[in-house]
Amino acid sequence: MLVEERRQRVLDLVSKRGFVTLSDLSKTLEVSESTLRRDLDHWHRCGVLRRTHGGAIYVGDSALPALEERSDSHLEEKRQIARAAADRIRDGDAVLLDGGTTTLEVARCLVGRNLQIVTNSLPIAQLVASHREGDLVFLGGYVFPRTGVALGPMTVQALEDIHVHQTILSVGGGDREGLVQQ
């Protein structure tokens, strides 16, 4: 395989998954980790991904605006969704909330309840941590500056040891084809 072809495959995998570990890339592409480190360093210098210890996270060409830019958009609809989701959660539950403006509204509805909130979102973690009721588990990892969401191998590893009763995930939007991933 040519260097350019391999590098493109590396970038395609990182952009598709959002993040990858070096060992996963090595297994998938059947290339040594030292070769892949050089490829990841190349894309890091180009600014389309960020190297992490043991892997990489895609950061290039994100069409998703910063959290602050999305917070007020369709706010009443987000609040209606949040109330409906919060009504399904029982006191004592452990709830996983991913990052996003709608899940932030869900967190606002859950504050003050006897729950364990698990999240990779800094804004949600800050909201929950500012109240005495309930527990907070923050999933670490590389925090994307524009979204305040932690992702990467550390986050995945933390998730492997977490067990929750309910999970509330967000999406970038929807169209006739279905949900649009962020």
Check pLDDT > 80 for residue 178.
Answer: no
Our CA angle for 49, 66, 178, nearest 5°, is 85
Residue 69 main-chain phi, psi, to 5 deg? -75, -20
- Segment 95-154, tens digit of pLDDT: 999 988 899 999 999 999 999 999 999 999 999 999 888 899 999 887 876 678 887 777
Taking the C-alpha atoms of residue 111 and residue 123, their distance in angstroms, rounded to an integer, is 13
pLDDT at res. 129: 93
Residues β-bridged to residue 95: 117, 166
Average predicted confidence (pLDDT) for the chain: 85
Contact (CB, 8 A) for 95 and 117: yes
Write down all domains in the chain, each with its CATH number in brackets.
3-58 (1.10.10.10), 67-171 (3.40.50.1360)
* 16: amino acid identity, one letter: K
DSSP track, 114-161? S-EEEESBHHHHHHHHTSSSSEEEE--SEEPTTT-BEESHHHHHHHHT
